[in-house]
């Protein structure tokens, strides 16, 4: 049986008129895309994007925009559709650590999905959004835009991520056994087991910070931290809690202010008629913010900014 993809173009009555319509609308428009590769800071796993190659593609670029006035910014929220008469293989075959950003009329757009494709029409539609001004700084168009040897976050995240390389000298080398990631910055399509660290609140325990003779900033603060674990059964989750307790006592990087317990979450997928092995643990920890800087400096000795490239 002949598949649609094997059918000659002239036997597809939809294709010709639709492609002629695109030719009329786009006026032979060429859209330039800048490729970026993912850069992860070693201290707090903050994600930036470094420019690499450029790509020029033919097609029609359509966008709609509306202004939004928010508490911290006034921004034009734009949705963009790029229609091409051929599949842009770079979009679908590039590693997940690569993105493409288009620039048009002084604005930049990033594309997140390809949908609405109908083989007989011979058109490919790519959808995306404006790169918001607040996130423009994540695109490293200038090589000196950030200092990779310094953390971005000001909370206890660096302390939690240092658990990835920590094991206790006692208790038969007690360690967490999984890799922790910052919330919303978990690697793409990651298979469990792993954990995500979500720091929801930071508040002072010391009213006024102490500034020493070298202008080092010392202040006792507290974080409310939720750890979401995937892929662990009960025993392994308890081992994780015990490792955190051991880490707190032996390193004194942070102190525990509550008695954390493991709770089971519900992460369903109707297609599988099952729920994931998800567990949540909430901690309240106290630490000196200067101590976080000390941990960051220790991590610099064994880690550098990484460019991740995956097939």
- pLDDT, one tens digit per residue, over 130-151 is 898 889 999 999 878 888 878 8
Do residue 123 and residue 18 come from a single domain?
A: yes
Do residue 11 and residue 131 come from a single domain?
A: yes
Do residue 68 and residue 198 come from a single domain?
A: no
Strands 274-275 and 268-269: antiparallel
At residue 255 the predicted structure's pLDDT band, cuts being 50, 70 and 90, is very high
Range name among 9-13, 60-64, 90-94, 156-160 with the lowest pLDDT average: 9-13
pLDDT of amino acid 155? 93
Q: What is the mean pLDDT of the chain?
A: 81
Instruction: Please check the confidence at residue 124 and state whether its pLDDT lies above 90.
Output: no
**Mean pLDDT in residue range 287-305:** 64
Do residue 69 and residue 21 come from a single domain?
A: yes
How far, in Å, CA of 282 to CA of 302, rounded? 29
Range name among 77-86, 114-123, 242-251 with the lowest pLDDT average: 114-123
Q: Residue 66 is part of which domain span?
A: 4-138
Do residue 98 and residue 199 come from a single domain?
A: no
Do residue 132 and residue 166 come from a single domain?
A: no
Confirm if 18 and 121 have CB atoms less than 8 A apart: yes
Strands 180-182 and 194-204: parallel
Confirm if 119 and 5 have CB atoms less than 8 A apart: yes
pLDDT of amino acid 64? 81
Confirm if 29 and 137 have CB atoms less than 8 A apart: no
At residue 1 the predicted structure's pLDDT band, cuts being 50, 70 and 90, is very low
Q: State pLDDT tens for residues 257-286.
A: 999 999 999 999 999 999 999 999 999 999
At residue 190 the predicted structure's pLDDT band, cuts being 50, 70 and 90, is very high
Is pLDDT larger for residue 221 or for residue 13?
Answer: 221
Of 138, 166, 198, which one is at a domain's C-terminal end?
A: 138
At residue 53 the predicted structure's pLDDT band, cuts being 50, 70 and 90, is very high
Confirm if 257 and 287 have CB atoms less than 8 A apart: no
Instruction: Please check the confidence at residue 22 and state whether its pLDDT lies above 50.
Output: no
Instruction: Please check the confidence at residue 192 and state whether its pLDDT lies above 70.
Output: yes
Q: State pLDDT tens for residues 214-232.
A: 778 889 999 999 999 999 9
Q: State pLDDT tens for residues 77-95.
A: 888 888 887 777 777 777 8
Is pLDDT larger for residue 181 or for residue 10?
Answer: 181
**The two three-digit tokens of residue 234, written as one number:** 């009960």
Q: Is residue 149 part of a domain?
A: no
Cα end-to-end span (Å), the chain = 33
Give how many domains the chain has, as a whole number. 2
Instruction: Please check the confidence at residue 119 and state whether its pLDDT lies above 70.
Output: no
How far, in Å, CA of 231 to CA of 65, rounded? 41
**The two three-digit tokens of residue 237, written as one number:** 């989750």
Q: Is residue 152 part of a domain?
A: no
Do residue 121 and residue 200 come from a single domain?
A: no
Instruction: Please check the confidence at residue 256 and state whether its pLDDT lies above 70.
Output: yes
């Amino acid at each position: 049986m002949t598949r649609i993809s094997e059918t000659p173009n002239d036997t597809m009555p939809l294709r010709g008129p639709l492609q002629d319509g695109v030719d009329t609308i786009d006026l032979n428009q060429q859209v330039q895309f800048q490729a970026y590769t993912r850069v992860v800071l070693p201290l707090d796993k903050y994600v930036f994007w470094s420019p690499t190659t450029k790509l020029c593609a033919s097609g029609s670029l359509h966008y709609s925009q509306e202004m939004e006035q928010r508490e911290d910014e006034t921004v034009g929220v734009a949705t963009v559709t790029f229609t091409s008469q051929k599949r842009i293989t770079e979009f679908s075959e590039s590693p997940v650590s690569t993105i493409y950003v288009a620039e048009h009329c002084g604005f930049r757009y990033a594309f997140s999905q390809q949908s609405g494709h109908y083989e007989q029409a011979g058109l490919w539609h790519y959808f995306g959004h404006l790169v918001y001004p607040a996130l423009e700084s994540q695109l490293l168009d200038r090589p000196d835009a950030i200092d990779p040897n310094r953390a971005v976050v000001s909370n206890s995240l660096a302390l939690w991520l240092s658990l990835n390389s920590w094991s206790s000298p006692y208790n038969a080398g007690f360690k967490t056994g999984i890799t922790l990631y910052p919330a919303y910055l978990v690697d793409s399509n990651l298979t469990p087991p792993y954990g995500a660290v979500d720091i929801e609140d930071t508040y002072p325990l010391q009213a006024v910070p102490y500034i020493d003779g070298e202008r080092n900033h010392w202040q006792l603060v507290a974080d409310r931290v939720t750890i979401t674990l995937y892929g662990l059964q009960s025993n392994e989750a308890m081992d994780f809690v015990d490792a955190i307790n051991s880490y707190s006592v032996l390193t004194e990087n942070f102190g525990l202010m509550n008695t954390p317990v493991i709770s089971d979450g519900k992460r369903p997928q109707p297609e599988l008629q099952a729920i994931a092995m998800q567990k949540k643990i909430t901690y309240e920890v106290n630490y000196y913010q200067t101590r976080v800087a000390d941990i960051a400096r220790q991590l610099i000795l064994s880690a550098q900014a990484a460019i991740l490239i995956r097939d």
